[in-house]
Amino acid sequence: MAADRDRVPTFPGSGKQIVLPRLGAPTADTHAHLDMLADPAGALARAARAGIALVCSVVDLTEEPEVTFDGLAGWLARAAEVLAADCVALGGGEDLGSPGLAPPDVRLIVGVHPHNASKYDDAMHVRLRETALAVGAVGLGELGLDFHYDHSPRDAQRDAFRRQLGLANELGLPVTVHLRAAHEEGLAILAECGVPDAGCVIHCFTEGPEMAGAFLALADPVYISLAGPVTFAKAQQVRDALHVVPLDRMLVETDSPFLAPAPYRGEPNEPAFAVLNAARVADELSIDPADVASACLENALRVFRSRGDAGAAL
């Protein structure tokens, strides 16, 4: 079933007028880089209007993490002001998508990307542990392997991957795993080190059904996260993989500002665009978009629990 596009406000992108589907239920963007957006506050306001209830923002400790740590409260406050002004301008705005026009809940994932693995030493390990606790991080990441760019030596990537997996197990946190041109080895390292009991998200999944099944078979807390590529014309293997991923093991994300989905590929991506990925998933599976949206939000809240939710069941 296609997502309903009636009565959905448009808002400006970078030179295009963006029209987003209404899914019929709120959902989550489980992987964004808010610090890389030109206007994080505006993006959070637009996400609320699109029906995004939760955004997980990924913070790399080697790349000016204070931009997020110092800026997040201000971004949320400004987003709330924008939404309040919208509500007045539109005469109440009951159709804007987010109940009460509140900004999304933003939760932080912290770690060291494989691009920066050469900077992962003992001091960084201690810093990551301390920071994760101090900021109430809901996960470690994005960690993993990137053998496409090889910005860090592969042995350094492997070491940082294993050490961060160990730390996640120690802290009882889930991990967000980045794999590019390294899925087989990433699978092997996860099997060797053990998937954290708290969960494991395969971020921006780009492979086919066989690889999806292999990750899912590792452990119950493994989730497959769909980003912009699920909408790309030449990425049918990703859509084929949807047919082996149960709804209770599925997430959607943007990886914003990267990988904007069709039909806005090439534009700066932002959390609101997660609804386009969810709508494409629903189209492929011929199910109600509200079911995809609700399942992805429920899964996100399960794996990326806030500190206060850590002992609570959904």
Provide the residue-wise pLDDT of the chain in tens; the chain has 314 residues. Answer: 556 544 344 566 566 778 899 999 999 999 999 999 999 999 999 999 999 999 999 999 999 999 999 999 999 999 999 999 877 666 554 444 444 589 999 999 999 999 999 999 999 999 999 999 999 999 999 999 999 999 999 999 999 999 999 999 999 999 999 999 999 999 999 999 999 999 999 999 999 999 999 999 998 899 999 999 999 999 999 999 999 999 999 999 999 999 999 999 989 999 999 999 999 999 999 999 999 999 999 999 999 998 654 433 33
Return the number of other C-beta atoms located less than 10 Å from residue 171's C-beta. Answer: 17
Which residues, including other chains, have CB under 8 Å from residue 277's CB and lie 6 or more apart?
A: 226, 227, 228, 230, 231, 252, 253, 254, 261
How many whole angstroms from its chain centre is CA 284?
20
Q: Which residues make beta-bridge pairs with 144? A: 178
Distances (CA, A) of 104 to 71, 75, 101, 275, 283: 15, 11, 9, 14, 25
Per residue, what are the HEC states of 27-70? EEEEEECHHHCCCHHHHHHHHHHHCEEEEEEEEECCCCCHHHHH
Distance separating alpha carbons of residues 190 and 304, to the nearest angstrom: 19
Residue 92: predicted pLDDT: 52
In the prediction, which pLDDT does 18 show? 81
pLDDT score for 10: 56
Model-level pTM?
0.92
What domains appear along the chain, each with residue ranges and CATH number? 23-307 (3.20.20.140)
pLDDT at 289: 98
- Residue 13, CB half-sphere, CA atoms under 13 Å: how many? 19
Which pLDDT value is given to residue 90?
Answer: 60
> Quick one: pLDDT at residue 6?
40
In 3D, which of 25, 23, 18 has the Cα closest to residue 5? 23
Reduced to 3 states (helix: H, G, I; strand: E, B; else coil), residue 206 is: coil
Token digits of residue 221: 């807390």
Length of the chain: 314
Closest C-alpha to 32, from 106, 101, 143 = 106
